[in-house]
Amino acid sequence: MENSLPQINQTITLNNWLKVNQQLVAKILTEFMYEDLLTTTIQLLPDGVFQHCLELDDNIEYRFTAEKRIFGNWQIDKDSISYYRQGVKQNELLVSEFMRNSYQKIGIDELTLGHLLRELNHTLIADCHILNTSDNINSHLLNIRQASQIEGYMRGHPWFVINKGRLGFSYQEYLNSAPEMRNLQKLAWLGVRKNKVTFNAIDDLNYQQLIIQELAEEDLNKFQQLLSAQNLIVQEYYLMPIHDWQWQRQIIQLYPEDIARNNIVYLGHGSDDYLATQSIRSFNNQSDYRKFQVKLPISIFNTAVYRGLPHERTELAPLLTQWLKDIHEQDSFFHQKTRLIMLGEIASISYAHPIYNQIDGVPYQYQELLGVIWRENVNNYLEKSEFVMSMAALIHLDKNNEPLVIELIKRSGLTIAQWLEQLFLVCLPPLLHWLYKYGIAFSPHGENTMLVMDENYQPKALVLKDFIDDVNISQHNLKSLNSMPIKLQDTLYQLSNEDMAQFIQTGLFVVLYRYLSDILLTHADYPETQFWQQVHTEIEKYHQSHSELSEQIQGINLLKPQFKKLNLNRLRLIEVGYADYHQRPKVESRLMMNNPASYKTWSEYTSLKTSNGAKVNV
């Protein structure tokens, strides 16, 4: 506790606390109105801005001004939010008080609310730390030019209001392991008996090659000597990394017999330094930027799920990578018409729990406890003059509320329209090609994609990653899927055309472009209508140049006027809550929403509907 007191005193100050509460109340209002969880009465003001009034029980009101956006959501002026009780304006705006006032109207039960308030406080504490970071400015970020270090400046999922809940971390563990703390971490290593685990790798990689690359020679010798010192046969063990939290909080308690029988042997820390990504459980090597990214189970609860590694999918990750890479290599489109980098999950070790993994229906968190996935390092694919960052960085606002993307565009020498044209040219065709030609959908949200830029900050290539968790295939019998290994066919989700389209409509349009188009309008007065017309134009270019895929294009119907509206916060707070489930929850659609990419000309888009979260009095 004494170690963390300086951090508490410097960071969780009243000034910081009130600022982050105001910001999070604004986000809650924005996203809950978007998901129809809250309804306001609206008055159009003479300047074209809308005055909102959220009326709650016990004569409680929240008032604020906001501007309409193209998805039916609202850009709220956080400084305009005021809170009235019995007609008297209150001095402070607090998230906990807002949730106490509104939970019944939203439909949240008291059990969920109790856990939610804790998770919101975790998020607010993290926001205090981000706010307190003195060098969190965009010019600094662009001078870093190292994706693994830029990750630590991001603010978490843009849509989930509890985006940094991290239930399971103590405060000290948060300080040690949270990505925004940007602490170098050393990973612990285990010896695991080979007959208790599965090791899998792509065709041209074996365990010996992997471990020689990933472990320094002195580490490898030290770990082997530790095994020998316990009269264990070195050749009977694989070496695998593990996060300290998982070892201390999960493995000792849940694998004690395996430890007693020396099936699992703790060996201490390696010498390499790592930085955590926004996903918490993936780590980039800082001692050698060429080494693999390491993905580990850390069974905390964050955003929507426990951050483990499912046993079967961990086993199959290299097989899926091999199949995708083979397609990617043989299709000239990915190399001549566009440039797509595929970060393969090239090796894995998975240690199934001897009891839990034999019982159907137990909470999924207990079947995702011990394993590792090694992923390729994007730095090995870049030219010397290029740099790369998470696509989530395009919607990053620094602590002064300045957008990183505006600084990128300024440095590029291009207009906003020109830069966006290049962005869409880089990002959309490869995703469309996988979708239409191969019946394969990736989940291209900001954490699963990266953007390669040249020395002039102009977009040059798309990077795709996180295959085994998020790749889905068409349920239609496309010939291209005939080459898929049977194990993958039995494991990957097979979806309808409508659901396949959702991975671009929601995964890209809603999760990323909704925020990007809003930032460009708010901070650079760039019309959303022009933004989405450029999206439409790039998609149509692909459609027109691939007439041989017209049947698939028509079947998926990406540009249809409406698509399913998914509600992530509703799923967490009303439909799922904090109960344990035997499998990860799935988002179900309740309503339809307008597709802003569907219009050829914006004269077709005659009005922006305000039915989402609003009653309008004009």
Query: Per the domain annotation, does 310 fall within a domain?
Result: yes
What local confidence, expressed as pLDDT, does residue 148 receive? 87
- pLDDT digits 0-9 by tens, 184-225: 999 999 999 999 999 999 999 999 999 999 999 999 999 999
**Cα–Cα distance for residue pair 306/326, rounded to 1 Å:** 32
What distance lies between CA 611 and its chain's CA centroid? 28
What local confidence, expressed as pLDDT, does residue 163 receive? 96
Query: Per the domain annotation, does 306 fall within a domain?
Result: yes
Whether residue 456 sits in one domain with residue 405: yes
For 6, the domain range is 2-132
> Pick from 360, 378, 396: which residue ends a domain?
378
**Token representation of residue 342:** 């595929």
What local confidence, expressed as pLDDT, does residue 513 receive? 98
Average pLDDT, integer, range 95-109: 97
214-218, 268-272, 315-319, 597-601: which range is least confident on average?
Answer: 597-601
Average pLDDT, the chain: 93
What local confidence, expressed as pLDDT, does residue 137 receive? 66
Whether residue 410 sits in one domain with residue 307: no
What local confidence, expressed as pLDDT, does residue 143 receive? 81
Query: Which CATH number goes with the domain that contains 505?
Result: 1.10.510.40
- pLDDT for residue 599 is more than 90: no
Whether residue 397 sits in one domain with residue 370: no
Query: Per the domain annotation, does 569 fall within a domain?
Result: no
Whether residue 331 sits in one domain with residue 310: yes
Whether residue 495 sits in one domain with residue 410: yes
What local confidence, expressed as pLDDT, does residue 146 receive? 82
Higher pLDDT, 453 or 144: 453
What order do you get walking across the sheet with 237-242 strand by strand?
Answer: 237-242, 188-193, 264-269
Average pLDDT, integer, range 522-542: 97
Partners of 440 in beta bridges? 473
- pLDDT digits 0-9 by tens, 338-352: 999 999 999 999 999
What local confidence, expressed as pLDDT, does residue 169 receive? 97
Query: Per the domain annotation, does 109 fall within a domain?
Result: yes
> Pick from 326, 346, 378: which residue ends a domain?
378
Please return the burial class of 261, using the count of CB atoms within 10 Å of its CB with bins 0-12, 13-18 and 19+: exposed
- pLDDT for residue 284 is more than 70: yes
Model confidence band, residue 140 (pLDDT cutoffs 50, 70, 90):
confident
- pLDDT for residue 365 is more than 60: yes
Whether residue 390 sits in one domain with residue 351: no
Does the predicted model carry a pTM greater than 0.75? yes
What local confidence, expressed as pLDDT, does residue 608 receive? 40
What local confidence, expressed as pLDDT, does residue 476 receive? 84
Alpha carbon separation from 347 to 39, 208, 321, 369 (Å, rounded) = 49, 12, 9, 17
What local confidence, expressed as pLDDT, does residue 135 receive? 60
Whether residue 342 sits in one domain with residue 199: yes
Whether residue 415 sits in one domain with residue 339: no
Query: Which CATH number goes with the domain that contains 88?
Result: 3.30.310.280
Query: Per the domain annotation, does 150 fall within a domain?
Result: no
Higher pLDDT, 493 or 341: 341
Whether residue 367 sits in one domain with residue 393: no
CB atoms within 10 A of CB 470: 18
Model confidence band, residue 47 (pLDDT cutoffs 50, 70, 90):
confident
What local confidence, expressed as pLDDT, does residue 433 receive? 97
Longest dimension (CA), the chain: 82
Query: Per the domain annotation, does 233 fall within a domain?
Result: yes
Whether residue 551 sits in one domain with residue 455: yes
Query: Per the domain annotation, does 588 fall within a domain?
Result: no
What distance lies between CA 488 and its chain's CA centroid? 24
Helix (H) or strand (E) segment spanning residue 242: strand 237-242
- pLDDT for residue 58 is more than 70: yes
**Token representation of residue 118:** 């804790």
Model confidence band, residue 138 (pLDDT cutoffs 50, 70, 90):
confident
What local confidence, expressed as pLDDT, does residue 605 receive? 53
C-alpha closest to that of 290 among 146, 179, 451, 152: 146
Whether residue 330 sits in one domain with residue 390: no
- pLDDT for residue 132 is more than 70: yes
- pLDDT digits 0-9 by tens, 319-340: 999 999 999 999 999 999 999 9
Q: How many domains does the chain have?
A: 3
The CA-based angle 247-248-250, given to 5 degrees, is 70
**Token representation of residue 306:** 């426990």
Query: Per the domain annotation, does 491 fall within a domain?
Result: yes
> In this structure, what is the dihedral angle of CA atoms 62, 64, 70, 71, given to the nearest 10 degrees?
-20
Whether residue 196 sits in one domain with residue 325: yes
Amino acid at residue number 7: Q
